[in-house]
Amino acid sequence: MIVLDPHTASAYVGIRSLFYRIASVFGQGVLVVVAGLLEKRLGSVPAAWTWTLVLSAAILGIVALYHSFILPRGESTPPKERDAKAIFADFGRTFATFFQKRQVWMAIVFMLLYRLPEALSIKMLSPMMLDPMDRGGLGLSTEAVGLVYGTVGVIALIIGGILGGLAGARWGLKKCLWPMALSLALPCGVYVFLAAAQPSSTAVISACVAFDQFGYGFGFTAYMLYMMYFSRGEFTTAHYSLCTAFMALSMMIPGLFAGFLQESLGYLGFFILVMACCLATVAVTFIIKVDPEYGKASKEK
């Protein structure tokens, strides 16, 4: 957002959203595999997860050190010395100018509801795969869930995320908005099939997860681009951070109710409800306004 123009940023936003999603899949896929392997070796679930979390902390420390040297900083002016009153005044202006933006409430509704189907479904995917068939699940082992979700899913996500970024840079956010919204929401239907059919074939389950993750990688690009688009102007990075706060809220609130809904409806009823929530994605995509040229390459030579 600081060092790239909108067109170049559009091309790379797919990569950014890709790694955002990989972080989630890594936690729910790769680390689950590690925990499963340690559980067999150590013979203790608490010990297995203790060492898995120690590994996670070590990875975070190494990545933080790497970022401190590698992340681009762009051109910046030396910070001015200001007293506490001026700092708090700027802090207040940051919030005030955010809520003074045009169509701010439509934007907030979009940020809260665009990912509603995914926000509900993601909490129940691993439990459904791990639960035995007599409880409506697929009866997969811990390692199999990690393989399906953490390997096959990540590969499909990579492809979808990269193609989403390239599409946004070529045609702009406006033209890509509807295809991306539908590709994010509708593939959740594969989980209705999995809950109803309960296939025992890992290949079939992997294909369904790959289809969903590809659609998510492609469709999530529109969400990231819209947040960048809405954050333009004064306090760009601060306003973008507020947008990411709404993004986190959009995942947290539905997640609070996902378990209760699944226990009440069963896996099949739950994922049918998830598909009904696709209407929310369609509705909020319809109400927002986007500059048709945003994200496209400039025609000036």
pLDDT on residue 27: 78
Cβ contact 255:117 at 8 Å? no
pLDDT on residue 154: 79
- The Cα 39–Cα 37 span in angstroms is 5
pLDDT on residue 301: 36
Written as one letter, the residue type at 206 is S
Q: Under the phi-then-psi rule, with left for phi > 0, alpha for psi from -120 to 50, and beta for the rest, what region is 252? A: alpha
- The Cα 19–Cα 60 span in angstroms is 14
Handedness of CA 62, 64, 65, 67 (dihedral sign): positive
SS3 43: coil
Which residues in the chain land under pLDDT 50?
300-301
Q: What are the two backbone dihedrals, phi and then psi, of residue 292, each rounded to the nearest 5 degrees?
A: -60, -25
Cβ contact 32:150 at 8 Å? yes
- Which pTM was predicted? 0.78
The mean pLDDT of the chain is: 85
pLDDT on residue 162: 85
Cβ contact 113:280 at 8 Å? yes
Tokens, residue 194: 């999995």
pLDDT on residue 300: 45
pLDDT on residue 74: 62
pLDDT on residue 149: 78
The 10s digit of each residue's pLDDT in 190-227 is: 999 999 999 988 899 999 999 998 998 899 888 988 99
